[in-house]
């Protein structure tokens, strides 16, 4: 009996699914099984089909009662595989620009935008994710909300004018300035990250929400001069002991710093107020000290009997000691 050859036989609405074998090869396998009465293993070897595949083809032939060649499936039952398009330089630039313009987007958003802007191309999310993290070197980090006006052209101009003012008036920012600022502390302050075993959450036990504490700090090139829970009057005696006379008192534009009483006290003790531009904490070295103190406070949650003010004071003394000894915790502005 003549062997089957279905290569040229049209099968409407049917799709050939095997990747390793052609229809003619499977047809030859079925023909030998039907006409020669060979064992499955022998026919598989003779037609170059591995045993497992041959077993499946033979099973399909029997289930279909010999009506459909094994390997063919209805088109409606087959999921068409879309090619994963390579990300070209042009597409890579599009992804980079999109992520920079939309830093909180998710990979699905990027993939959809990529397909929409490049003729509905086929690319999966895992490919896009690998490209973003490996090729473009983006990484997910904690978001830091930033007021839009912080880096506006007007704000930048104010900073430039402030720096020019220092130079024009021969103000030694390092030696002739006292820096003042306040910072808020909470009773249940804790580091935002903690070590934990894989698969477990990093839980840290803290005390119930307590009273928020605002601490006012004062520092110079000599280190931290004072910390206070209340708005202090300028301590001329303390400043004089340190040889700090005719100093510039650098503060931000908070309303409390511009009250008549505060300004009068500053002038009466021979000092001059110097207000920083808006949204410019980077020009005040005491900000770095607050960061160091809070870093230490967050390391160990408060015990029931502890008070946030006492812990803050304790960390302030430790920082002051390091500054005096020339440790690495000296603010970069003074190093």
Report pLDDT for 82: 52
Mean pLDDT, residues 171-195: 79
335 compared with 155, residue with greater pLDDT = 155
- Alpha-carbon span 330 to 320, nearest angstrom: 9
Report pLDDT for 233: 47
Residue 61: inside a domain: yes
Residue 162: inside a domain: no
The pTM assigned to this predicted structure is: 0.50
User: Is the same domain home to 222 and 297?
Assistant: yes
Residue 143: inside a domain: no
- Alpha-carbon span 69 to 21, nearest angstrom: 13
User: Is the same domain home to 237 and 330?
Assistant: yes
Residue 95: inside a domain: yes
User: Is the same domain home to 236 and 129?
Assistant: no
User: Is the same domain home to 229 and 130?
Assistant: no
User: Is the same domain home to 181 and 50?
Assistant: no
User: Is the same domain home to 120 and 229?
Assistant: no
Within 10 Å of residue 156's Cβ, how many Cβ atoms? 14
User: Is the same domain home to 186 and 306?
Assistant: yes
Signed CA dihedral, 291, 149, 109, 123: sign only: negative
pLDDT digit string (tens) for 13-64?
Answer: 777 888 788 888 888 888 888 876 778 888 888 889 999 998 988 888 888 8
User: Is the same domain home to 216 and 327?
Assistant: yes
Strands (E), the chain: 14-16, 72-74, 177-185, 213-220, 223-228, 248-251, 272-275
Report pLDDT for 86: 78
> Of 162-176, 217-231, 285-299, which range is least confident?
217-231
Q: What is the mean pLDDT of the chain?
A: 77
User: Is the same domain home to 71 and 189?
Assistant: no
CA 335 → CA 55, 160, 175, 223, 286, distances in Å? 78, 22, 12, 12, 13
Residue closest to 52 by CA, chosen among 78, 77, 23, 20: 20
Report pLDDT for 240: 59
Asked which of 77, 105, 123 is the last residue of a domain, the reply is 77
- Alpha-carbon span 234 to 335, nearest angstrom: 26
> Of 4-13, 16-25, 324-333, which range is least confident?
324-333
User: Is the same domain home to 310 and 223?
Assistant: yes
User: For 62, what's the count of Cα atoms within 13 Å in the CB-facing half-sphere?
Assistant: 8
What would the DSSP string read from start to end of 198-222?
TTS------PPP---EEEEEEEETT
Residue 267: alpha-carbon gap to chain centroid? 46
Is the model's pLDDT at 197 over the cut of 70? yes
Domain that holds residue 43: 14-77
Mean pLDDT, residues 171-183: 86
With pLDDT > 90 as the criterion, what percentage of the chain qualifies? 14
DSSP state of 229: S
Mean pLDDT, residues 311-329: 52
In CATH, what number is assigned to the domain containing residue 197?
3.30.420.10
Residue 144: inside a domain: no
Is the model's pLDDT at 114 over the cut of 80? yes
Report pLDDT for 71: 84
Residue 314: inside a domain: yes
Is the model's pLDDT at 322 over the cut of 60? no
314 compared with 122, residue with greater pLDDT = 122
Residue 46: inside a domain: yes
Please state the domain count of the chain. 3
pLDDT digit string (tens) for 213-251?
Answer: 777 788 887 777 666 665 444 455 556 566 678 889 999
User: Is the same domain home to 325 and 181?
Assistant: yes
Report pLDDT for 173: 84
Is the model's pLDDT at 128 over the cut of 50? yes
> Of 56-65, 102-111, 206-215, which range is least confident?
206-215
Is the model's pLDDT at 79 over the cut of 90? no
> SS3 of 323, please?
helix
Residue 24: inside a domain: yes
User: Is the same domain home to 45 and 123?
Assistant: no
pLDDT digit string (tens) for 294-314?
Answer: 777 776 665 554 555 565 556
- Alpha-carbon span 205 to 127, nearest angstrom: 40
Asked which of 53, 77, 101 is the last residue of a domain, the reply is 77
């Amino acid at each position: 009996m003549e062997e089957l050859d279905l290569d040229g036989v049209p099968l409407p609405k049917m799709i050939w699914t095997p990747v390793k074998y052609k229809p003619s090869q499977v047809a030859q396998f079925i023909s030998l099984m039907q006409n020669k009465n060979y064992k499955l293993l022998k026919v598989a070897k003779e037609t170059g089909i591995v045993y497992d595949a041959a077993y499946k083809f033979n099973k399909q032939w029997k289930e279909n009662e010999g009506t459909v060649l094994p390997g063919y499936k209805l088109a409606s039952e087959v999921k068409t595989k879309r090619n994963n398009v390579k990300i070209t330089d042009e597409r890579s630039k599009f992804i980079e620009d999109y992520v920079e313009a939309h830093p909180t987007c998710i990979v699905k958003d990027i993939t959809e935008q990529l397909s929409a802007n490049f003729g509905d191309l086929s690319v999966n999310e895992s490919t896009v994710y690998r490209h973003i993290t490996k090729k473009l070197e983006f990484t997910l980090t904690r978001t830091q909300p930033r007021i839009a006006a912080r880096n506006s052209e007007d704000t930048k101009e104010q900073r430039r004018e402030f720096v020019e003012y220092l130079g024009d008036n021969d103000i030694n920012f390092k030696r002739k300035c006292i820096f003042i600022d306040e910072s808020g502390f909470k009773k249940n302050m804790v580091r935002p990250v903690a070590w934990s075993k894989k698969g477990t959450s990093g839980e840290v036990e803290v005390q119930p929400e307590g009273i928020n504490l605002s601490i006012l700090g004062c520092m110079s090139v000599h280190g931290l001069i004072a910390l206070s829970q209340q708005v202090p009057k300028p301590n001329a005696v303390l400043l004089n002991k340190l040889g700090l006379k005719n100093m510039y008192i650098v503060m931000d534009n908070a309303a409390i710093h511009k009250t008549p009483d505060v300004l009068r006290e500053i002038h009466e003790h021979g000092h001059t107020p110097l207000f920083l531009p808006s949204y410019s904490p980077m020009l005040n070295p005491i900000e770095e000290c607050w960061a160091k103190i809070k870093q230490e406070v967050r390391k160990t949650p408060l015990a029931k009997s502890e008070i946030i003010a006492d812990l803050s004071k304790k960390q302030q003394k430790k920082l002051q000691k390091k500054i005096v000894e020339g440790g690495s915790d000296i603010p970069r502005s003074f190093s």
